[in-house]
Amino acid sequence: MLKDISHKYRNFIPLHLEIEDIKILEEFAKIQRGNILKMTTNASSGHPGGSMSSVDIYTILFAFSDFTPENFNSLNRDRIVISHGHTSPGVYSVLGSLGFFDLHEAIAHFRQVGSPFEGHIENHIPGIDWSTGNLGQGLSAACGFALSQKMKGINKDVFVVMGDGEQQKGQISEARRFAKKFGLNNITCIVDYNNLQISGATQRVMYQDIKANFESDGWFVIEIDGHNFSQIYEAIRFAKNYSVSPVMILARTTMGKGVSFMENRHEYHGKPLTEEELDRALKELGIENDLKKYRKMRDKKIKKIKEVKSLLPPIFEIGSPILYSPETKTDNRSASGKALFDIASKNMDKLDSFAVFDCDLAGSVKTSSIEKNMKNSFFESGIMEHHTAVCSGALSRCGVITFWADFGVFGVDETYNQQRLNDINNTNLKVIVTHTGSDVGEDGKTHQCIDYLGLLRNLYGFKVIVPADPNQTDRVIRYVVNEWGNFCVAMGRSKCSVITNENGSPFFDEKYEFNYGKFDILREGKEVLILTYGPMVEKAIKIYEILKERGIDVGVVNVSCPLKIEDELMEKIKKAKLIITYEDHNPHSGLYASICDKIVEKGISKKVIPFGITNYPPSGKSSDILKYLKIDPESIAEKILKELNG
């Protein structure tokens, strides 16, 4: 039995596998092949070909790593990332056989609605560290896990198994460079090189020299036969102990390995066997065909599996707020950077649980003080945003409070899908984006991020906060530190005034407490109600002042969480005569959209005029752009007057 020898080879300590143990492995893997075929035929769906090609690697990895049904909820263990998540039948089969969950449940309920055993592997299942499916993501996640081990002094390993087709994804080259730069020699990558992808032979689909690619990024490469247990074992053992660089094991394998009529047939990438084919295949493998049993089980209730727990970071001291006086003229990104540095300074004993990522913009996003003073918590990731999004997301699941600061177009637009995958992975990432809206200096269209609410609105777990001034920014940064979940804190580039009460005292004063979703009434007024957020708040107050002089009763509300509109705000809206939304964003996916949604939900009939960005703006200073687009305070005050006068 494999369980009997698992202990013997745990942590890849012996030099070689013994011959009789190889037989046990071969027998075990054969059974897994049978399971894979039953599972996919039972589901009439799934990916048997790649599963059979990877399953010998999975057998060795899961059987001998320090990653067990007992320790999967701990940090102090090896980690295994399966990047080609469609090989779920192979993964589930091996994990089930090793006792992470009930194997029969997986075979019976694979890909069934309501079952935990979904189409691609997901990290709610014991033994699965990262949900994958979209290709090219696994090595970036592995880097995040490997970083957490290095930061926390955990002397364990991260193994990542990848497909060959996915090596075409550019993100993998980013991850390679990152791993090399940060000396992540605790990563061992195994590429299942069966040379087939959906469209046929890998080298016919795309020119690629995988070995040369890895070597060009400073990795050490070993080539092995991926179905030879001795070679797999010894290569992993070598890689684990090799400290000069991360190691990639190029494992030559056969798609559909083990069943003659499936071998090297790319059609079996994503197609299960028919019942008749299954019967033939199982006969060839010498395995009993008990598909009927699983067909019956499929109609029965699905059992619960053990819970995979989120590894919470330690609670950080958030310190006392920095108060910016009304005389101060600074930008929110500076306030954000200061708050972040202040928090880090107050938790110097916990910096092994604190990380800040940068993509070559530390000076602009104001994380330079972290870079200078908390070197081991600062990760300069270069111009590699896709990798950085996933890597920081994975790290955030390892008990590390993780921030990534970048421009809006990089932290949200360029990496939307990576943030979506983070969200699916229940990460705990804090994304600080600066240079949002048209407020990006004079960099122009490609840098203007006028859609971040429209994008993050789609992600069910992401919360977005757009603070109004340096004081609120300070409080928001302190707030998100200890709050679990994905947050995006957005800000523009320009300096903004400290928002004050009518008496001139700071609105967000020492008594102010931020709560997600809470709106702030900055100016009371009932005739016209301006709803706004972020850098437009001070401009809305300007409109208020202009109109006040003209005798108009204007209220100004700071909606710093534009994706969460509270019922109480709707009560205010009901009472006003005219509602204005004012944003440095596309209104049709921004605050205006949120308000419309809620107005319809509440059955209110109300005139709302949206002011915002309605096409790709020109390049220029923020204030000039607003004037050019006629959404500067003066123009808007004028328009409101016209509207009121009919």
The CB-of-216 to a copy of itself minimum distance in angstroms stands at: 4
Binding a copy of itself (rule: CB under 8 A), the pick from 25, 147, 255, 362 is 362
CA distance 425 to 394: 8
Half-sphere exposure of 402 (CA within 13 A, CB side): 29
Its sign, for the CA torsion 244, 219, 176, 194, is negative
The CB-of-260 to a copy of itself minimum distance in angstroms stands at: 24
- 1, amino acid identity: M
Q: Are strands 247-252 and 220-225 parallel, antiparallel or unpaired?
A: parallel
Binding a copy of itself (rule: CB under 8 A), the pick from 38, 77, 257, 386 is 386
Binding a copy of itself (rule: CB under 8 A), the pick from 445, 495, 548, 564 is 445
Would you count residue 429 as binding a copy of itself (CB under 8 A)?
Answer: no
Choices 60-68, 224-232, 454-462, 494-502; region in contact with a copy of itself by CB under 8 A: 454-462
Span 25-44, contacts to a copy of itself by CB under 8 A: 43
CA distance 251 to 84: 14
CA distance 214 to 173: 8
User: 3-state class of 557 per DSSP?
Assistant: strand
The CB-of-61 to a copy of itself minimum distance in angstroms stands at: 22
Would you count residue 112 as binding a copy of itself (CB under 8 A)?
Answer: yes
Choices 55-63, 141-149, 344-352, 587-595; region in contact with a copy of itself by CB under 8 A: 587-595
530-561: b or e for each residue (b if 16 or more CB lie within 10 Å)? bbbbbbbbbbbbbbbebbeeeebbbbbbbbbb
Choices 54-62, 106-114, 398-406, 554-562; region in contact with a copy of itself by CB under 8 A: 106-114
Binding a copy of itself (rule: CB under 8 A), the pick from 41, 132, 253, 353 is 132
The CB-of-77 to a copy of itself minimum distance in angstroms stands at: 25
Select 68 or 422, whichever has its Cβ closest to a copy of itself: 422
Would you count residue 303 as binding a copy of itself (CB under 8 A)?
Answer: no
Which of 443, 423, 447 shows the shortest CA–CA distance to 433?
A: 447
Pattern 44-83, a copy of itself, x by CB under 8 A: -xx-------------------------------------
The CB-of-68 to a copy of itself minimum distance in angstroms stands at: 26
The CB-of-47 to a copy of itself minimum distance in angstroms stands at: 9
Number of other CB atoms surrounding residue 49 within 10 Å: 30
Span 542-571, contacts to a copy of itself by CB under 8 A: none
Binding a copy of itself (rule: CB under 8 A), the pick from 6, 30, 104, 213 is 213
Choices 223-231, 389-397, 480-488, 624-632; region in contact with a copy of itself by CB under 8 A: 624-632
Select 368 or 482, whichever has its Cβ closest to a copy of itself: 368
E-state strands within 466-607 = 486-490, 495-497, 520-523, 528-532, 554-558, 578-582
Select 200 or 286, whichever has its Cβ closest to a copy of itself: 200
Would you count residue 209 as binding a copy of itself (CB under 8 A)?
Answer: yes
Would you count residue 129 as binding a copy of itself (CB under 8 A)?
Answer: no
**Whether the Cβ atoms of residue 385 and residue 406 lie closer than 8 Å to each other:** yes
Helices (H), 559-604: 567-575, 591-602
**Whether the Cβ atoms of residue 380 and residue 405 lie closer than 8 Å to each other:** no
Choices 20-28, 31-39, 541-549, 598-606; region in contact with a copy of itself by CB under 8 A: 598-606
Q: How many residues bind a copy of itself (CB under 8 A)?
A: 112
Select 335 or 390, whichever has its Cβ closest to a copy of itself: 390
Select 415 or 560, whichever has its Cβ closest to a copy of itself: 415
For the CA atoms of 533, 538, 542, 545, what is the dihedral angle to 10 degrees?
Answer: 90
Number of other CB atoms surrounding residue 614 within 10 Å: 13
For the chain, the first-to-last Cα distance in angstroms comes to 85
CA distance 601 to 374: 48
Pattern 161-180, a copy of itself, x by CB under 8 A: ----xx-xxxxxxx--xx-x
Tokens coding 39: 């599972």
